Structure 1
Amino acid sequence: MATDDVALFRALRQTWEAVDPVPTDLVDRMIVAVATADLSAEYALLTLVVDADAPAVRGETDALTLQFTDGTASVLVHVVTDEKNRRRIDGWVDAPATEITLVQDDETWTTTPDHGRFSFEGIPAGMCHVRVLLDRTAEPGASTELRTPRFDL
């Protein structure tokens, strides 16, 4: 870069610093913004409730109960293994939801909840997460999606 260019950029910087200085709290605000960007997912992870020791409801199968929340909506998921080693997932969401999607690698299963209740059958074992599309028409600005952390079926 030529000496003239360096001098020009220095002059531009000084002009902008005088006309429109960087807010003194910008760095602190950016740290807070980045730290809280995924706060609802972190909160959902922190409020994860696992009840793997619960007795099986149907026969000698393993059962798993998980609860997720973002502070405004909660999802309860109950998983049992069938005789073909596939999973049946029964779930409940306590907020108005329009669609529930179970995501496992490249595979997705979608259903519409009935008064908050939903289920998926024949799901193979593996890591997955649940995505709930919430109906927030009565709450402008509220999050329209609750996405659980990944969990193992």
Structure 2
Amino acid sequence: MADADAELFAGIRTAAERFDPPPADLADRAIAAIAVADISREYAMLTLIENAEAPVRSRGDGETTTLQFSDGAASILLHVSRTERGRRRVDGWVDPAAVEVQLTQGERTRTAAPDDQGRFAFDDVAPGLTHVRLVAGGEQKDLLTPHFEV
């Protein structure tokens, strides 16, 4: 860069700092906005309703758990029940705009397409840490749940 250019840029920088300085908290606000956007994309609010009233019996002596995740724009309701073999069945309901639901445990990902009412199910799910991704259509962002135990 030539000396004349450096002087010109220095003058512009000085004028901008004097007549139009950035707000003092601009960097903090930008970092907070980016963090909130990332959190809402990667993590959803978890509401755990475990054994509301009495355990519901399904396919034997299994207990059921209901989980609800939402990021304010999309939501997913999961009903996890234990099968006679000690495995899990996951029934779910999502916003009808969802294109696909992905259930991931470790390296294994299973997919299901919700029907017109937003219902889907996964049979024969192994107990363990799980997370679900709701793949949205259009301009809506995907919803990724935090890990939870099934």
State the TM-score, normalized to the length of structure 2: 0.77
2:87 is equivalent to residue 86 of structure 1: yes
5+ residue gaps, structure 2: 1-6
Which residue in 1 is equivalent to 2:49? 50
Distance change (3 Å), C-alpha of 1:151 and 1:19: same
SS of corresponding position for 1:79? strand
Pairwise CA distance, 1:110: 0.5
How many residue pairs are counted as aligned between the two chains? Answer: 138
Q: Pairwise mapping of residues 1-150 of structure 1 onto structure 2 (< 5 A)?
A: 14=10, 17-18=13-14, 21=17, 23-24=22-23, 25-40=25-40, 44-45=44-45, 47-53=46-52, 54-58=54-58, 59-115=60-116, 116-136=118-138, 140=139, 142-143=140-141, 145-150=142-147
| Counterpart contact for 2:75–2:95, Cα < 8 Å | yes
| Counterpart contact for 1:104–1:127, Cα < 8 Å | yes
Which residue in 2 is equivalent to 1:5? none
Alpha-carbon separation, structure 1, partners of 2:104 and 2:43: 20
| Counterpart contact for 1:73–1:94, Cα < 8 Å | yes
- Output one character per residue of 1:3-24: Cα deviation in whole Å (capped at 9) or x when no partner: xxxxxxxx89956732665733
Shift >4 Å, 4+ stretches: 11-16, 19-22
Alpha-carbon separation, structure 2, partners of 1:146 and 1:42: 7
State the TM-score, normalized to the length of structure 1: 0.76
Pairwise CA distance, 1:146: 0.9
Alpha-carbon separation, structure 1, partners of 2:93 and 2:111: 14
| Counterpart contact for 1:44–1:68, Cα < 8 Å | yes
Alpha-carbon separation, structure 1, partners of 2:11 and 2:104: 52
Code of the residue aligned with 1:23 in structure 2: it is: P
RMSD: 2.7
- Output one character per residue of 1:84-129: Cα deviation in whole Å (capped at 9) or x when no partner: 1111000000241111100111111001111200000111111111
Identity of aligned residues (%): 42
Alpha-carbon separation, structure 2, partners of 1:129 and 1:55: 23
SS of corresponding position for 2:13? helix
SS of corresponding position for 2:44? helix
5+ residue gaps, structure 1: 1-10
